[in-house]
Structure 1
Amino acid sequence: MSIEQKSETRLRGDALVEKAKQLIHEGNVRRVIIKNDKGHTVMEVPVTAGVVAAIAAPVVTAVGAIAALASDWTIEVERQGEQP
């Protein structure tokens, strides 16, 4: 049986872009949510293993564009994991 795990990380600028790239290529990430410094969701990306290559470039480009708009961002990650 699998369970869903969530984590949040606060990042700035280029670190946000690098983290987004890393997360998109991980196999157990289901969804990446990017929030601004006020906690509002700016971008929500469902990630599935079959379409990683197709969505990676446009998503990273979009993340780079929003990273330039403000100083602080929160990236929330939903992962699919195995129950112990």
Structure 2
Amino acid sequence: MIAPGAARTVSITVERVPGSIHQDLSFTAGTTIDSMIDSMITVLLQTPGTVTVNGTSSLGASIQAAAFATSGTVSCG
């Protein structure tokens, strides 16, 4: 059990699978990830592929990826 007020990390992870071409994360326009809702929550996006975000979107997340691509208006922070 996690104590109330304890720091938390939410991870969205794509694992490297030998022979698989599906290693990307993609977010459509209108996506919002807001880590500021509760400063104790950290959002982490991880993939050996590409993270693609289409705007208008806002991401308050840490990104670990081979590539990061955006289109339209995308706010990161």
TM-score, length basis structure 2:
0.26
More strand by share: 2
Structure with larger Rg: 2
Q: Which has the higher contact order (CA 8 A, sep 6+)?
A: 1
Q: Which has the higher helix share?
A: 1
